[in-house]
């Protein structure tokens, strides 16, 4: 037990870390209809109507087309084949349009819920559904850019066994094993007809244009639209992380000049610019505390130490804390070790008042004969945080109410102790200090 208190007392503060909170400001876009190669996957009659719509669209320019009856190629292979199909012409995106056909039997029980009885399962027809997805990759790196779904197309063959009042009109109706191939052809033809209806109505305006890239020279980019001068983060569609290192250095009424670090890949259309909206400070620190504990009807001196971490925001008023703490109460021959959780409000200045609520759980030990009890507590506190360039400090007062379980020995047997009170109240002052790295 003594070793635990020594450890808490000598641990140095682990410092603080600043974590940015960001939000998207804009998406970099094209200043012209992008040059694309379209890769069709699946049966030609299922993908050709969509490709025809791309050819007629004013939002992109189809440089070349490539048909892949099966979707066995990986992205890298597909991009390489697309560049070969372009035959040296410049391209910016590779668009993979993939159609998948599924077939379902229709029987007499189709559409009934699981709780409805169905005595017969006779074949009645076919349903064909066509699901189509559009996936875009950068032509230069084959990095993923976006994926969208086109309208679902389906067709249903007409019933081969008309029903009368819910019962088969023909006792010789076919079983499920006697499905007619002609029904699949009919249902598929209806699905293809639906695709032909949908295709002319689809707009291919999925390419960002609001902050279009006007020019790139070395590590400088000119984009349309005015952004605030300052630091930004870059996020690419293929990577969930955001990367610092892009700055808006000059702004006019209609444009912004950006500079980016050489460690970053060159920004491209589809990349997002994010700005910092807040900053989370995670501060790890050691602390010491002193105060009084009221137990067995008397007040006793109390001293302790803690190792804690505190989360707070530069602009938002929240504050959270987690700590491992130990206390000594010599007047009742007791010591406590436990964990504390606190949450509250903080006024975000360099000298910041804080108020919070606290909950905790731990163990209390009495004497040298192994007596122990479980101790839970609730409390309130108030104090201040002070931050400077190289150090920070926390000072607060905490009022806690403890509830103790029955005293037990090491084998969980009831044990008589000198101080039997099962409720404590403590008032302590705490001081914590850490270093900004």
Lowest mean pLDDT among 36-50, 350-364, 411-425: 411-425
Tell whether the model's pLDDT for residue 187 goes beyond 60: yes
Token pair of 237, please?
Answer: 């569609």
- Which is higher by pLDDT, 395 or 369? 395
In angstroms, rounded to a whole number, what is the distance separating the alpha carbons of residues 28 and 237?
11
Tell whether the model's pLDDT for residue 388 goes beyond 90: no
Confidence of residue 390 (pLDDT cuts 50, 70, 90): confident
Sign of CA dihedral 253, 259, 264, 265: positive
Look at phi and psi of residue 296 and say left if phi exceeds 0, alpha if psi is from -120 to 50, else beta: left
Question: What confidence score (pLDDT) does residue 406 get?
Answer: 92
- In 3D space, the residue among 254, 258, 210, 253 whose CA is nearest the CA of residue 231 turns out to be 258
Confidence of residue 162 (pLDDT cuts 50, 70, 90): very low
Confidence of residue 165 (pLDDT cuts 50, 70, 90): very low
H-run or E-run covering 223: strand 220-224
Backbone angles phi, psi at 278, to 5 degrees: -160, 175
Pair type for strands 35-41 and 61-68? parallel
Burial profile 256-284: b = 16 or more Cβ within 10 angstroms, e = fewer? bbbebeeeebebbbbbbbbbeeebebebb
Sign of CA dihedral 392, 395, 400, 402: positive
Confidence of residue 167 (pLDDT cuts 50, 70, 90): very low
Q: What percent of the chain has pLDDT over 70?
A: 87
Question: What confidence score (pLDDT) does residue 400 get?
Answer: 96
Angle at 413 between CA 409 and CA 419, to 5 degrees: 55
**Cut 0.85: pTM above it:** no
Lowest mean pLDDT among 109-123, 211-225, 302-316, 368-382: 109-123
H-run or E-run covering 188: helix 181-198
Span 174-183, mean pLDDT? Answer: 66
Confidence of residue 95 (pLDDT cuts 50, 70, 90): very high
**Mean of per-residue pLDDT scores for the chain:** 87
- Neighbouring-strand partners of residue 166: none
Question: What confidence score (pLDDT) does residue 116 get?
Answer: 57
Tell whether the model's pLDDT for residue 271 goes beyond 90: yes
Span 385-399, mean pLDDT? Answer: 87
Task: DSSP letter for 150, please.
Answer: P
What residue segments make up the domains of the chain, in order of their start? 9-19+280-435, 33-201, 209-268
Question: What confidence score (pLDDT) does residue 370 get?
Answer: 84
Tell whether the model's pLDDT for residue 375 goes beyond 60: yes
In angstroms, rounded to a whole number, what is the distance separating the alpha carbons of residues 332 and 371?
13
- In 3D space, the residue among 157, 159, 154 whose CA is nearest the CA of residue 192 turns out to be 154
Q: What is the pLDDT of residues 207-236, one digit of tens each?
A: 988 899 999 998 999 999 999 999 999 999
Confidence of residue 173 (pLDDT cuts 50, 70, 90): low
Task: DSSP letter for 122, please.
Answer: B
Span 162-176, mean pLDDT? Answer: 47
Tell whether the model's pLDDT for residue 332 goes beyond 80: yes
Token pair of 270, please?
Answer: 């589809």
Tell whether the model's pLDDT for residue 329 goes beyond 90: yes
Question: What confidence score (pLDDT) does residue 177 get?
Answer: 55
Domain 9-19+280-435 has CATH 3.10.180.10: no
Asked if residues 119 and 131 have their Cβ atoms less than 8 Å apart, the reply is: no
Distances from the Cα of 103 to the Cαs of 133, 183, 244, 389, in angstroms? Answer: 18, 11, 49, 67
Confidence of residue 402 (pLDDT cuts 50, 70, 90): very high
In angstroms, rounded to a whole number, what is the distance separating the alpha carbons of residues 384 and 83?
62
In angstroms, rounded to a whole number, what is the distance separating the alpha carbons of residues 201 and 33?
19
- Which is higher by pLDDT, 414 or 71? 414
Q: What percent of the chain has pLDDT over 90?
A: 62
Distances from the Cα of 139 to the Cαs of 93, 233, 343, in angstroms? Answer: 5, 23, 49
Q: What is the pLDDT of residues 340-358, one digit of tens each?
A: 999 999 998 878 999 999 9
Token pair of 302, please?
Answer: 């109390």
Asked if residues 153 and 124 have their Cβ atoms less than 8 Å apart, the reply is: no
Tell whether the model's pLDDT for residue 24 goes beyond 90: yes
């Amino acid at each position: 037990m003594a070793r635990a208190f020594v450890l808490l007392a000598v641990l140095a503060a682990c410092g603080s870390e600043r974590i940015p909170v960001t939000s998207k400001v804009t998406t970099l876009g094209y200043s012209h209809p992008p040059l694309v190669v379209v890769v069709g996957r699946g049966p030609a009659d299922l993908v050709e109507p969509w490709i025809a719509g791309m050819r007629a669209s004013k939002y992109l320019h189809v440089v070349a087309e490539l048909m892949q009856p099966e979707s066995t190629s990986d992205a890298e292979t597909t991009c390489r084949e697309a560049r070969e199909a372009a035959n040296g012409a410049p391209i910016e995106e590779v668009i993979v349009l993939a159609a998948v056909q599924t077939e379902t039997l229709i029987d007499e029980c189709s559409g009934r819920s699981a709780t409805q009885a169905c005595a017969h399962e006779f074949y009645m027809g076919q349903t064909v559904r066509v699901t189509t997805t559009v996936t875009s990759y950068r032509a230069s790196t084959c990095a993923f850019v976006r994926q969208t779904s086109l309208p679902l197309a389906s067709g249903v063959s007409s019933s081969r066994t008309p029903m009368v009042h819910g019962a088969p009109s023909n006792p010789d109706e076919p079983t499920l094993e006697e499905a007619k191939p002609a029904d699949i052809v009919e249902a598929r033809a209806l699905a293809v007809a639906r695709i032909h209806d949908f295709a002319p109505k689809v707009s291919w305006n999925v390419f960002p244009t609001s902050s279009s890239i006007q020019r790139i020279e070395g590590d400088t980019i000119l984009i349309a639209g005015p952004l605030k001068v300052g630091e930004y983060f870059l996020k690419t569609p293929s990577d969930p992380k955001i990367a610092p290192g892009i700055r808006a250095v000059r702004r006019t009424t209609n444009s912004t000049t950006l500079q980016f670090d050489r460690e970053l890949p060159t920004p491209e259309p589809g990349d997002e610019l994010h700005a910092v909206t807040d900053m989370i400070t995670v501060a790890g620190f050691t602390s010491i505390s002193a105060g009084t504990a009221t137990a067995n009807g008397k007040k006793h001196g109390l001293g302790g130490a803690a190792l804690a971490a505190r989360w707070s925001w530069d602009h938002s008023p929240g504050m959270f804390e987690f700590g491992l703490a130990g206390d000594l109460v010599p007047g009742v021959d007791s010591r406590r070790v436990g964990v504390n959780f606190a949450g509250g409000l903080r006024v975000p200045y360099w000298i910041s008042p804080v108020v919070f609520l606290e909950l905790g759980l731990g163990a209390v030990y009495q004497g040298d004969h192994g007596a122990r009890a479980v101790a839970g507590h609730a409390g309130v506190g108030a104090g201040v945080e002070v931050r400077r360039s190289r150090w920070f400090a926390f000072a607060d007062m905490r009022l806690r109410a403890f509830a103790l379980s029955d005293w037990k020995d090491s084998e969980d047997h009831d044990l008589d102790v000198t101080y039997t009170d099962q409720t404590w109240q403590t008032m302590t002052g705490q001081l914590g200090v850490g270093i900004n790295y």
